[in-house]
Structure 1
Amino acid sequence: MAISQGKSTRLPSGARNVANRGKRKAELGRDPAETRVDEKRLKKIRTRGGNEKLRLATANKMNLTDPATGKSQVVDVLGVIENSANPNYVRRNIITKGAIVETPEGNAKVTSRPGQDGVLNGILI
């Protein structure tokens, strides 16, 4: 079944809202990317207007910035330590924005949206 981001079928009172029209393609949603730790793999998604969005399916390297020195470097991602989006994501090594990942330089917080941007950026914490 398709994921819809249209209007709810319930009113604020809890009563059932009878729709006066069906779903539209513009209201279509998609499954989350759920970027995992593995060799880098991108998915191309066709968006509105024929444009393309890159989804990061898997990644094992990230652009890490040290806020103290302002220097950036590419480092390996060893694993996910903490993910406030979903506790089960830690067990499954799924990276989202705000996740704490382990790197050789130390722990880093992910600042990019891998499922939207197609790149993995982070800052050293």
Structure 2
Amino acid sequence: MKRSVENLSTSKITGGRRHPLRTRRKYDMDRFPNEANIGAQVTVTRQVRANHIKTGLKTIDYVNLAMPDAKVKKTKILKVLENATNSDYQRRGVISKGAILETESGKCRVVSRPGQHGVVNAILLK
């Protein structure tokens, strides 16, 4: 899925051809968003700019929960309560940054980006 740099399909007002100022670059390419859901852990890795590797989550069933006493506990996710990013995400149960999750330890808010970081970190809500 490539995005064009500029509209070259139309001609100039003088009737001449349009020439691009530059060619298309690898970082101009779009891709579909990686939306994490609840389920057995499945990760995907992809190559990004400068030959770096980025790990993303497709599905996850545990969250690294930061407790008020400065300890981190691995807790099972029960369901997605709300997602302010998109009302459709809330209905479908997509986990993204800022989503409120119901866990075995209580309600928590996601502070990581699961589709980009490959992990779900959250803080416990009071």
Change (3 A) 1:25 1:82: same
Match of 1:115 in 2: 115
Change (3 A) 1:100 1:23: same
Contact 1:3 1:31 in 2 (8 A): no
Match of 2:51 in 1: 50
Structure whose CA Rg is larger? 2
Contact 1:77 1:102 in 2 (8 A): yes
Between the aligned residues of both structures, percent identity stands at 34
Take 2:87 and 2:19, find their aligned partners in 1: how far apart are those partners? 36
Match of 1:12 in 2: none
Take 2:19 and 2:77, find their aligned partners in 1: how far apart are those partners? 47
Take 2:90 and 2:42, find their aligned partners in 1: how far apart are those partners? 20
Q: Partner letter of residue 77 of structure 1?
A: I
Tell me the TM-score normalized by structure 1.
0.82
Match of 1:15 in 2: none
Q: Partner letter of residue 27 of structure 1?
A: D
Structure 1: 5+ residue runs without aligned partners? 10-17
| Equivalences for residues 73-84 of structure 1 within 5 A | 73-84=73-84
Structure 2: 5+ residue runs without aligned partners? 8-17
Match of 1:105 in 2: 105
| Equivalences for residues 1-125 of structure 1 within 5 A | 2=1, 4=3, 20-21=20-21, 23-66=24-67, 68-125=68-125
Take 1:97 and 1:31, find their aligned partners in 2: how far apart are those partners? 17
Shift of 1:70: 1.1
Segments ≥4 residues shifted beyond 4 Å: 6-9
Shift of 1:28: 1.4
Contact 1:62 1:76 in 2 (8 A): yes
Shift of 1:50: 2.0
